[in-house]
Structure 1
Amino acid sequence: MQTSWIRGAIAFMLIGTEADAARAAAAPAMPLQIFVDHLEQERAASADGLRSWRSGEAMELATVGILGEAVAPRRTLGEALRVFSRGFPVLQSNSRVSFEVIDDEAHVSYRVLDPRIWPRRADTELTLGLIRGICARYGVPNGAIQDLCFEHRPDRDLRVLSHHLGRTPRFGQDENRIVFSARVLGNTLCAEPGGDAMTSSKRLDGALIELRRQTPVAQRVHELILSRMDRGMVNQSHVAAELGMSERSLRRALAAEGQPFHEILEECRRIHGFALLVRSDRLFGEIALLLGYSDQTAFSRAFSRWYGISPREIRKMGAEEVSVIR
């Protein structure tokens, strides 16, 4: 699996110098692992329980590069969130932002798909804070927030964030998510929009097309598998359909890159399963089903073959960073 990355001035502003930020547009992408690790270290060293969240809320859209430029001039909040979720891949790889309206609720979710990047508490708080900041540009009050979920477990006094938001977050959930009343999606910008919506939209579309062109098919398959692995069985026909390809075309493309589908699926199971074993308390049978195994025995055999020890022994390692993950 390729190294996950983040682009734009945002990375350099938060962990680099002002000079670095000024050169960010021309700089290569930063490894996401470095970015997340630095945020986590700063979060752990700070006594401010809102540090990461406030950084996200206060973030200028210009620091998010082409994506921010495309979001900034959107007339309504609904338009802004749709652009943000659609264009997020140009900002950060192996990650996903989804936006959907369910009945009278708007759901915005964020996930880092790369299981090797852990922990990611500060990064999650930063990103959901950024989404909350976008909502604030359209006059959305805290009272409109109906739910706030985090994948990670609580590790500090929750009263500060609860008081700030007027709602107590839920932790240890399946995804990071902010939910608010769908009524506010029609809210318009509180200030005059900056930039031209049509021009910035074309630039974002061009960046997405170029990213797709440059990204190997095998990498796109990796991301799709990891994004769906916790949500049911993943197979080659589903992945081909998502990519807009026939199964035959997908097999040919992967063969040309020297990475058959079954090898990619196995690698995703290996790295995601390891993360679930040492960083969660899920039952072995549940993990087996999430990874797409027919039963726990098949899951145990595979992990014993990969690591030379049983899943139970792997779990005993706890949350240590172990060199078997590459």
Structure 2
Amino acid sequence: MLLGPEADPAQAAVERPMPLETFVSRLEQERAGSTDGTHCWRSGQQISLPSIGVLGEAIAPRRTLGEALRLFARGFPVLQSNSSVTLEVTGDEAHVSYRVLDPRIWPRRADAELTLGLIRGICDRYAVPREAIQDLCFEHQPDRDLRALARHLGRMPRFGQDENRITFSASALSHRLRAEPPGDAMEPAKRLDEALVELRRQTPVSQRVHALILSQMQHGLVNQADVAALLGMSERGLRRALAAEGQPFHAILEECRRAHGFALLVRGDRLFGEIALLLGYSDQTAFSRAFSRWYGVSPREIRKMGAEEVSVIR
């Protein structure tokens, strides 16, 4: 197992980080080798917090589920690169979503099941009952008998969705830890903040811009001014930083559009006009012209080629 109750946190702390595509690929191989349809979910649900390092240590003493999940979402970058976890509350529903931002990494069934299982495991620490879970969504399509997984989850997940998401009653966010929190909550939270600051310091601005564009593209946020604001920089400061790295904003944006647009074309059935808007093009004509230039064929022909799609983990 790559992760789980058998994981050795001391060993993990000294090993070099595994590239995300390697991690996802190995999880897929492990999943393919198991006849248990609940394997990845159960593995995630059983992950011990100490085994995920400084993030787990910071989560462990949080008194309420809401505090724990907000910290998990904020600190997830120290655990896994080029990925996003968000917690949103709408009305009486809480939604925790997970995405690998790199659209070239596909398929990614196992890591989605593992990560949502980990989130469910955190909920278990706060006595969240099965009936509080209102919905479960996965990006991937079902590829095996789902009866065992549905029995374990207490419901049939929805597949082929825009994101991997677990939805539960917002009232569960106020659930308190089953037992008295272990140790001091401030010190591990401080170490997590320091780890996030160090990660930010070590990550090139161009790489942060790339990840941010991919995370926000589904909301239509692709302009330089908004990206600069989210990074806490002025637009002029962002231009200077990217120029120093030889990565102008327009080049990063075009690469994100190319990769994300290709994934949208071959892995779904969205209308071309909708894809154009998601990628930030003014109209479908501009979108078609760009993709014809990049691939030598029209978006319609790219969609027909979906079965021949190339992935970095295949």
TM-score normalised to the size of structure 2? 0.94
**Residue 191 of structure 2 is aligned with which of 175, 188, 203?**
203
Gaps of 5+ in 2: none
Q: Does 1:234 align with 2:222?
A: yes
**Residue 83 of structure 2 is aligned with which of 88, 95, 101?**
95
Q: Cα deviations across residues 194-221 of structure 1 (Å, max 9, x unaligned)? A: 3421110000000000111111111111
Which has the higher relative contact order, 1 or 2, with Cα contacts under 8 A spaced 6 or more apart? 2
- Specify the alignment match of 2:111 in structure 1: 123
- Are 2:266 and 2:309, in contact at CA under 8 Å, matched by a contact in 1? no
- Specify the alignment match of 2:52 in structure 1: 64
Q: Cα deviations across residues 233-291 of structure 1 (Å, max 9, x unaligned)? A: 41011101101111111111111111111001000001111112222222222222211
Q: Does 1:293 align with 2:281?
A: yes
Identity %: 76
The letter for the 2-side match of 1:264 is I
Q: Bigger CA drift: 190-199 or 43-52? A: 190-199
- Are 2:88 and 2:96, in contact at CA under 8 Å, matched by a contact in 1? yes
- Specify the alignment match of 1:136 in structure 2: 124
Whole-Å separation in 1 of the counterparts to 2:234 and 2:74: 24
The letter for the 2-side match of 1:26 is V
The letter for the 2-side match of 1:58 is Q
Q: Secondary structure in 2 aligned to 1:115?
A: coil
Whole-Å separation in 1 of the counterparts to 2:83 and 2:307: 22
Q: 1:299 to 1:106 in 2, by over 3 A?
A: same
Whole-Å separation in 1 of the counterparts to 2:121 and 2:3: 17
- Are 1:148 and 1:178, in contact at CA under 8 Å, matched by a contact in 2? yes
The letter for the 1-side match of 2:258 is R
Whole-Å separation in 1 of the counterparts to 2:40 and 2:220: 32
- Specify the alignment match of 1:168 in structure 2: 156
Q: Does 1:111 align with 2:99?
A: yes
Map residues 21-100 of structure 1 onto 2, 5 A cutoff. Answer: 22-100=10-88
TM-score normalised to the size of structure 1? 0.90
Whole-Å separation in 2 of the counterparts to 1:32 and 1:319: 24
Gaps of 5+ in 1: 1-10
Q: What count of residue pairs does the alignment treat as equivalent?
A: 312
- In the TM superposition, residue 232 of structure 1 has moved relative to its aligned partner by 1.5
